[in-house]
Structure 1
Amino acid sequence: MRWLALCCTPDAPAGDVDALAWLALSFTPRVTRLEEAVVAEMSASLRLFRGARALRLRLHAEAEQAGLALGATAWAPTALAALALARCPDAPRQGRLCERLDALPPTALSAAHVHHAMLARLGCQRLGALRRLPRAALAKRFGPALLTALDQAYGDLPEVHDWLTLPDRFDARLELPYRVEHAPVLLNFAEQLLRQLCAFLAARHAGVRALRLAWQHDAMRARDVAGSGELTLSTADTTRDLRRLTRLLGEHLSRTTLAAPAGEISLSADTVLPLQELSVGLLPGASEPQERTTTNALLERLSVRLGADHVLEGRLHEDHRLDRMQSWHPWPAAASPPVRRAPGPQPTWLIEPPQPLRCDAREQPVYCGPLSRVSGPHRIEAGWWDCSGLQTRDYYVYRSAARGLLWVYRERLPDAAAVTSGWFLHGAFA
């Protein structure tokens, strides 16, 4: 068996250990918490990740991406031995297990650390010296737990573990060390929950498109203030990027006002979606998905800063009327079904409102000089179901010596011709 012990840095928050355990589940299903560390049995995963060194580097990279401060790591045939070696950075990394453990101080094992003062008076400075003491006398003085820990670390006794499993949904809470009165300050504590979320998503090879951050108000709040508050943030695509989620949450919190001081926060993600992993390519177009993700992250922040009504996205519609072929919605707009291409030529630029044109003696339109017809008429009769959108027009493509190809139509309603010539310029071709 090959056990890998994972320890967080000493200054890491307590919740990072749970997040590290979830991250380890993306490498092997045999993960458990062992005191202050996480241990994972990796023997079945070494071939998949091309060896112990490649697996450890991959784990470090994903921990950094999830914002986790991964500290010491160590390999060993037993879980307790891996934890003991991880606690001692100067421990030998090569050689037989018994020789490596014999060189460690008794503080490397928690069962021996509680008797550190007595062992020091007995002259036991290393685990090897402790192991050479008479077992019966050792058990009588220090209890059977010390002998059991020694035997399990050296592989003489089997170890029993409770394997960790991922919950169906993510819901984490954090009690704040002090009462927070301003919403932007909540981001400093919400980052801990976001790191746990990203590790949870990495274990599921998934992402999210919506999160909910809630906070509980202080019990000494005013009577007219609710007991809690919350905000929901959405992303344009499925992601588990810690930086992106942190910056988006910061934008929302900077525009939020707490009705009362908050003493507890919670982060939840009810819907977890599969995340498609993209391979890195060598061709010029290989970076397009990454560029699209970066653009979406920028638009998300702009939508929060400027307001949803100021960041719009166009959606195509199947309609023969040019001004009804596209509509604008707050970004990100809901996905629309595929739209068939309209028959006939379509101009590159529209002129809104359409510009009335004069006619010559032959009742032909004139614009910056005479026009010559290229094609037409392309008749449109649509909008009868819309009280204000009825259009009965004949569209033509005309060529102007000064302006190029023009999109011109003539109204077929008799009342329109009574007011103007009936000819209008509606667009131009690039």
Structure 2
Amino acid sequence: MRLWIGLHLPRLPLEVFCPSWSADALTAVLDHDAVLAVSDDARRAGIVPGMRRGGALMMAPEAQLHERAPERESEALHAVAMAMLQFTPQVAEAEEATLLMDVGASLRLFGGIRRLCALVRASLRKLGFTAVLGVAPTARGAWLLARGGGSRAIRLEKMTARLHRLPASLLPPARPYMTWLEGIGCLSVGDVARLPRPGLQRRCGRALLDVLDAALGHAAEMFHWIEAPTTFHARLELFGRIENTDLLLAGACRLLQQMTGWLNARQLAVERITLLLEHERGKVARPPTPVEIVLAEAVWRDDHLVRLLKERLAKLELEAPVIGLVLEAPHVKPMAPLSDSLFPEPGGSSEDRQRLFEVLVARLGADNVLQAAPKADYRPEHANAWVPVQQKIRPQDVAACLPPGGLPRPTWLLPKPIALLVRDHRPFYCSPLRMVSAAERIEAGWWSDTQTRDYFIAQGEDNAHYWVYRERLPGADEEAEPRWYLHGLFG
């Protein structure tokens, strides 16, 4: 089923200059010395769109007036489009600050159109924008529903009925002829659609008929889809000198939303991200402060990255105010397919455990979260080392450290061997121990800590199994009583 979402950002100029986390409340945006958009506080103060600069300052002298910058609006709309790529690879930019998304193939993946619209709105909130959504079987129909205040029509008949009730001024080709259309009583899209087509074409041109045919599903539509770049690099200029790391997280979330869309569009997962905190320029310029997040498992969602950035920024002490943020994804890999197992693993999957370790590393530091790493050494005390949990251990390294012949090793190795009593020429630990395996001789460490031992698996009267060894001292009398030690316990 072909289904489109029209995404109209009605207050784009205002939100570009005055994001939700800015301190400016009484704000207006000017276009050619006339008010284009106003905040809620400015509207309550009496400033309305179309008012001149002098009139706005007369109504509210303390109002913050910003000149419109089309390049910034274009950058903001492109940022929204990049974030929307996480829901569908087919996103097109339409006129009047509107995006069109072909989501017919994404409905099952995201759980239906209601759930998908909720996810789109949540992503827009993280970006710091508000939008009006229109859903329709045609792209132009979704555009008109979004421009008309937002509505959802899944079936073609329902969409047609709702489009007919919209004002005719929403049709861009009809606007130059609104005086004539209002004079003949054509106030809605339905009224225009019921006019004789030959006469309407002679009076208003072919463009109006093309828009009507595209909206009602009578003509095919062609689009230029937005393509994700081969590498990701996004920058956000902050509206002030930020000295609180909590405020930086909101800007970082906006950049993460763009990266999530880029990763999904390119079918990639990120292994390492770098957030650069830009400081003052000019004579007091200083290099950006890097905040690097290294992941044990590559991800393509932003929720886990937000948690890691929150932990890192909470521990960061800013040496200078921040005026801009730059997010880069230098290390990426192809996205891994979803697990095809029928039942979930008890205790969570390996990805869940890796995410827990990454949160602990961000909170406690890499040197305080360690994992066991085998070493190629026959001596049990030296056959293991503790390394940071982010360090990767290759399977071939583990295979190279396994004992020869697949000999068993105890689950618990004591920090220091315990000397055992010898009774009736048998080692004693709570009870006499009986050897149930052949001897495993270990002779190694001549360069630092020489060890000459014969290891056995011993069994006590309670059927518990122990890992013991008999020490062989070079030059000792063969008739002397051997010394026995307990080195490990079997589970």
Is 1:183 the counterpart of 2:240? The answer is no
The Cα shift of 1:267 comes to 1.0
The Cα shift of 1:280 comes to 7.2
Partner of 2:371: 313
Contact kept, 8 Å, 2:135 with 2:145, in 1: the verdict is: yes
The Cα shift of 1:149 comes to 4.8
Partner of 1:23: 86
| TM, length-normalised to structure 2 | 0.70
Is 1:324 the counterpart of 2:345? The answer is no
Contact kept, 8 Å, 1:21 with 1:33, in 2: the verdict is: no
Contact kept, 8 Å, 1:97 with 1:154, in 2: the verdict is: no
Identity of aligned residues (%): 31
Contact kept, 8 Å, 1:9 with 1:72, in 2: the verdict is: no
Partner of 1:105: 167
Which range is displaced more, 350-359 or 228-237? 350-359
What does 1:162-177 correspond to in 2, within 5 Å?
162-177=224-239
The Cα shift of 1:360 comes to 4.4
Partner of 1:214: 276
The Cα shift of 1:394 comes to 0.7
How far apart are the structure 2 equivalents of 1:2 and 1:212? Answer: 38
The DSSP-based 3-state class of the residue aligned with 1:23 is coil
Partner of 1:398: 458
Contact kept, 8 Å, 1:21 with 1:32, in 2: the verdict is: no
Aligned amino acid, residue 338 of structure 2 = L
Match of 2:484 among 416, 423, 427: 423
Aligned amino acid, residue 296 of structure 1 = Q
The Cα shift of 1:412 comes to 2.0
Contact kept, 8 Å, 1:176 with 1:264, in 2: the verdict is: yes
How has the CA–CA distance of structure 1 residues 94 and 257 changed in structure 2, closer, same or farther, with 3 Å as cutoff? same
Matched residue count: 409
Aligned amino acid, residue 195 of structure 1 = Q
| TM, length-normalised to structure 1 | 0.79
Is 1:356 the counterpart of 2:406? The answer is no
Is 1:267 the counterpart of 2:327? The answer is yes
Which range is displaced more, 269-278 or 299-308? 269-278
The Cα shift of 1:194 comes to 0.9
How has the CA–CA distance of structure 1 residues 297 and 149 changed in structure 2, closer, same or farther, with 3 Å as cutoff? farther
The Cα shift of 1:97 comes to 7.3
Is 1:243 the counterpart of 2:303? The answer is yes
Structure 2: unaligned runs, 5 residues or longer: 16-75
Match of 1:73 among 134, 141, 144: 134
How far apart are the structure 1 equivalents of 2:158 and 2:392? Answer: 61
Partner of 1:4: 4
How has the CA–CA distance of structure 1 residues 20 and 429 changed in structure 2, closer, same or farther, with 3 Å as cutoff? closer
Contact kept, 8 Å, 2:238 with 2:325, in 1: the verdict is: yes
How far apart are the structure 1 equivalents of 2:341 and 2:133? Answer: 33
How has the CA–CA distance of structure 1 residues 136 and 369 changed in structure 2, closer, same or farther, with 3 Å as cutoff? closer
Cα deviation, 1:175-217, whole Å, max 9, x if unaligned, reads 1122211223210111111111112222233321111111221
Partner of 2:255: 193
Structure 1: unaligned runs, 5 residues or longer: none
Cα deviation, 1:304-326, whole Å, max 9, x if unaligned, reads 22121111111234543222332
How far apart are the structure 1 equivalents of 2:222 and 2:132? Answer: 25
Partner of 1:412: 472
How far apart are the structure 1 equivalents of 2:179 and 2:325? Answer: 42
Aligned amino acid, residue 427 of structure 1 = G
Which range is displaced more, 353-362 or 324-333? 353-362
Is 1:346 the counterpart of 2:409? The answer is yes
The Cα shift of 1:296 comes to 2.1
The DSSP-based 3-state class of the residue aligned with 1:272 is strand
How has the CA–CA distance of structure 1 residues 33 and 289 changed in structure 2, closer, same or farther, with 3 Å as cutoff? farther
How far apart are the structure 2 equivalents of 1:303 and 1:96? Answer: 53
Aligned amino acid, residue 250 of structure 1 = K
The DSSP-based 3-state class of the residue aligned with 2:250 is helix
How has the CA–CA distance of structure 1 residues 187 and 110 changed in structure 2, closer, same or farther, with 3 Å as cutoff? farther
Partner of 2:73: none
Cα deviation, 1:326-371, whole Å, max 9, x if unaligned, reads 2211112213224344232322221221122344464x43334543
Contact kept, 8 Å, 1:195 with 1:242, in 2: the verdict is: yes
The DSSP-based 3-state class of the residue aligned with 1:346 is coil
How far apart are the structure 1 equivalents of 2:80 and 2:124? Answer: 12
Aligned amino acid, residue 412 of structure 2 = W
How has the CA–CA distance of structure 1 residues 347 and 2 changed in structure 2, closer, same or farther, with 3 Å as cutoff? closer
How far apart are the structure 2 equivalents of 1:21 and 1:292? Answer: 29
Which range is displaced more, 300-309 or 410-419? 410-419
How far apart are the structure 2 equivalents of 1:10 and 1:289? Answer: 47
How far apart are the structure 1 equivalents of 2:201 and 2:461? Answer: 109
How far apart are the structure 2 equivalents of 1:96 and 1:405? Answer: 76
Aligned amino acid, residue 190 of structure 1 = A
The DSSP-based 3-state class of the residue aligned with 1:162 is coil
How far apart are the structure 2 equivalents of 1:96 and 1:403? Answer: 78
Contact kept, 8 Å, 2:455 with 2:470, in 1: the verdict is: yes
How far apart are the structure 2 equivalents of 1:383 and 1:138? Answer: 99
Partner of 1:32: 92
How far apart are the structure 2 equivalents of 1:382 and 1:290? Answer: 41
